Amino acid sequence: MNTIPTSKNFCGYTGKGEPIRLTPGTHRRVVIEHVTPEIDGGRYPVKRVVGETLTVEADVFGDGHDIVWCGLRYRHETDSVWSVTPMHAFTAEVAEDRWQGTFSVEKTGSYSYTIVAGVDHFATWRRDLSLNAAAGKDLSLDFAEGAKFAEFAQSQAQDEDAEQLAEFAGRLRSSPAREDGLALVTGSELAHLVTKYRDSTEDTLYSRSLQVTVDRPRARFSTWYEMFPRSLRVSHENGHHPENLPAHGTFASCETALPYIAGMGFDVLYLPPIHPIGKIARKGSNNAITAQEGDLGSPWAIGSTEGGHTAVHPALGTIDDFRSFRKRAEDFGIEIALDLAFQCAPDHPWVQEHPNWFRHRADGSVKCAENPPKSYEDIYPFDFECEDSAALWRALREVVDFWVDQGVRIFRVDNPHTKPFPFWDWLIPEVKRSCPDVLFLAEAFTRPKLMHRLAKAGFTQSYTYFTWRNTKWELTEYFTELTKDESREIFRPNVWTNTPDILHEFLRQGGKSAFMVRFILAATLAANYGIYGPVFELAVTEAAAWREEEYQDSEKYQIRTWDLDQEHNMRDLISQVNFIRRENPALQQDWTLQFHHIDNDQLICYSKTTPVEGPGDQPSNQNVVLTVVNLDPQHTQSGWVHLDLEALAVTHQNFTLTDLLDGTRYTWHGPWNYVELHPGTHPAHIFRIHNFP
């Protein structure tokens, strides 16, 4: 990034990137202001995925009446030369002097972009000459002035271009016939060559070089499934597991779950920590302070004499077993996401090897994690302010590098808001510099500004408040904020129906119908979503007595055995909706989300369309999905929906819709139409709109 000089005479950059200082005779007359997207004055990059376009806007203007030209400069971090694409002024009167340009990002990594602009003296001359010609004035002096443009360009050109420009200059200086001169001046050849070799010394370059981080497409569209590997049992057609495999909790047994998970349409399988679990101060079942014999402890209490963050729990297998499991998952189109929980159990090797990485109490004992009045005796947080913090940072970077070397490219980061922002500002770019494909999901259920600051630090996706947004008004307000606010440039939501820590009241009280509602909302409102299973698809509602949003007999502290063949398993609905997501590109992005009026607060209606990429992209080519959901898990609800037909790219008053959930085809008439939805049997419509009668 360019460093802005602090001199009071500084006013921008020249077209060659040199600082402009206000001195007598300065000719740089164009102003560049209010550039978007620009996050915090260009301190942080915006985000895109490969194949997307970045649209850049700015106020660009000069003094007087001369014509201004404007260009968007960009280059990938591996490119040595800048590309420049023209920016165009808005034609709307209210947007006068507002310019816009776009470029496509074709590679992962980092792109730089900025704006260059200047007075277009040649275009101004051509405009004035045309006005003089229309007024019937003598044009001989105008032609002579035009020759100077050709001669300057000739001085910069070589070979055929120089010869052509010399010819043009000679013709203009020879006082050509009026019609011949006008034909030469208004033709494209002279304009092309003069523009190609124009004088750029008076151009103004925007004062900042801005950045865009480009991720692979899974950053924008992903479908997550969370499971505890130690609860996975090996299934077999005859009800018995093979004799050479343990019944529970190995990477081999996890492999047997892959067809089930892939069959539901999930492409990311997130595993809570797979490392050795501490034995000192281990928690018991249901978060009991004292563990009983046989209690396994929480996977987030990482480390024991068996190893730390780069080891796997011996009961799960070996590193080789993990690699085999990861590769097998790839055969099913599934990526493994690992948990990064930067904390230690009391018997983690680092506690003895690096005691100065932890905070200590007055009596010299290491301080456990606390969220007063709660204490987590089985977890020691790191002291990122310790004198040896540089070594601590490097050690944590080595943890990430280790798992990247094992083929892991997605990390779900536990409580990142409890670690310093400068640490993430350093770690994430360092990792992505050597491996741009790595994605980071921030598990940060915290204050909005903290969540957005983590996104600025480089987190690819973030958990959201979706779990606690259940009414029509809450959902509409929240998702409008996520998709329309400037923060969408850096904050990618990943909405979760439930987590091991969160069993919301809506699910506890609403039963299976409530699970269906929340699942359809998550899968259609957001391009990235996740469920914690199998408790979700089995609609488990038993809450812990000690905390209602926690599950009774939580897998965080013990093994659970799940009967996936239960009749009420929602896997068929989940499979169907995930298939709909894969087949409809409109659902694979967030920015076109549009809410539509419906006259019943228990019904919510919204749409997504594929973005219009350019003038040739016709509405008839767009993928348009309209979703209507009954938010009441107990009662049938009906109402009249009023559609914004323009937002839906509907060009006929009569149009056809297909409900992708049951295949029923409808013909609707105009913007007002009636819907009726029944909980448990038909809680939603997911319509594909066909833009024909």
**Does residue 282 surpass a pLDDT of 90?**
yes
Percentage of the chain lying above the pLDDT 70 cut: 91
Q: Which pLDDT band, with edges at 50, 70 and 90, does 693 fall under?
A: low
Evaluate whether residue 617 is within a structural domain: yes
Q: What's the mean pLDDT in 67-78?
A: 95
| 590 counts as catalytic | no
User: Which two three-digit tokens encode residue 100?
Assistant: 């816009």
Q: Is residue 417 part of a domain?
A: yes
- Could you tell me which of 419, 364, 367 has the C-alpha nearest to residue 393? 419
pLDDT tens, 79-134? 999 999 999 988 766 668 999 999 999 999 999 999 999 999 989 988 999 999 98
Query: Collapsing DSSP states into helix, strand and coil, what is residue 428?
Result: helix
Q: Mark whether 119 and 101 lie in a shared domain.
A: yes
Q: Say yes or no: 189 and 277 in one domain.
A: no
Q: 662: domain CATH number?
A: 2.60.40.1180
The region of weakest confidence among 175-179, 266-270, 574-578 is: 175-179
Rounded mean pLDDT, 608-628? 77
CATH classification at residue 334: 3.20.20.80
In a domain, 444, yes or no: yes
Per-residue confidence at 186, pLDDT binned at 50, 70, 90?
confident
Looking at the fold, whether 592 and 579 belong to one and the same domain comes out as: no
The pLDDT value recorded for residue 19 is 59
Is 86 within the bounds of a domain? yes
From 565, 586, 607, give the residue that closes a domain.
586
Instruction: Examine residue 295 and state whether it is found in any structural domain, yes or no.
Output: yes
Give the tens place of pLDDT for each residue, 336-363.
999 999 999 999 999 999 999 999 999 9
Residue 38 shares a structural domain with residue 166: yes
CATH of the domain at 58: 2.60.40.10
* Chain position carrying tokens 């077209």: 15
The sign of the dihedral angle between the CA atoms of 609, 613, 618, 621 is negative
Tokens of 495: 């909405």
Tell me the mean pLDDT in the region 438-462.
96
Bridge partner residues of 14 (DSSP): 204
CA 498 from centre of chain: 21
pLDDT at 243: 43
Please write the tens of the pLDDT for every residue from 620-643: 578 999 999 999 999 999 999 999
- Res. 473 pLDDT band, cuts 50 70 90: very high
- CA torsion through residues 132, 134, 140, 143, sign: positive
139 pLDDT band, cuts 50/70/90, is: confident
Domain presence at residue 374? no
Per-residue pLDDT tens for 209-258?
999 999 999 999 999 999 999 998 654 443 343 444 444 589 999 999 99
Q: How far apart are CA 227 and CA 270, in angstroms?
A: 7
- Domain for residue 428, yes or no? yes
Give yes or no: residues 420 and 540 share one domain. Answer: yes
Q: Are residues 485 and 597 in the same domain?
A: no
Q: Which two tokens stand for residue 309?
A: 């963050």
Q: What confidence category does residue 320 fall into, taking pLDDT thresholds of 50, 70 and 90?
A: very high
Same domain membership, residue 153 and residue 266:
no
Q: List the domain range (segments joined by +) for residue 31.
A: 10-214
Query: Tell me, what's the pLDDT at 7?
Result: 34
User: Looking at 203, 226, 378, 443, which residue is catalytic?
Assistant: 443
Residue 59 pLDDT greater than 50, yes or no: yes
- My answer on whether 246 and 390 are in the same domain is yes
Q: What is the pLDDT of residue 6?
A: 35
* Total number of domains in the chain: 3
- Reply yes or no: is the peptide bond before residue 611 cis, omega within 30 of 0: no
Mean of all residue pLDDT scores within the chain: 91
Among 532, 553, 586, the domain boundary falls at 586
Query: What global pTM score does this model have?
Result: 0.91
Q: Output the pLDDT for position 256.
A: 93
Q: Residue 144: what pLDDT?
A: 87
The span from the CA of 620 to the CA of 193, in Å, is 40
Does residue 145 have an active-site annotation? no
Task: State the DSSP code for 336.
Answer: E
338 shares a domain with 273: yes
The verdict on residue 353 lying in a domain is no
Q: What is the pLDDT of residue 12?
A: 54
Which are the contacts of 340, defined by CB distance < 8 A and separation ≥ 6? 399, 400, 411, 412, 413, 414, 440
For residues 637 and 576, state if they share a domain.
no
pLDDT exceeds 60 at position 2? no
pLDDT given at position 16: 55
Instruction: Clarify whether residues 196 and 106 are in a common domain.
Output: yes
Q: Does the pLDDT at position 458 exceed 60?
A: yes
Whether 234 and 298 map to the same domain: the answer is: yes
Number of residues in the chain = 693
Catalytic residue among 215, 414, 555, 632: 414
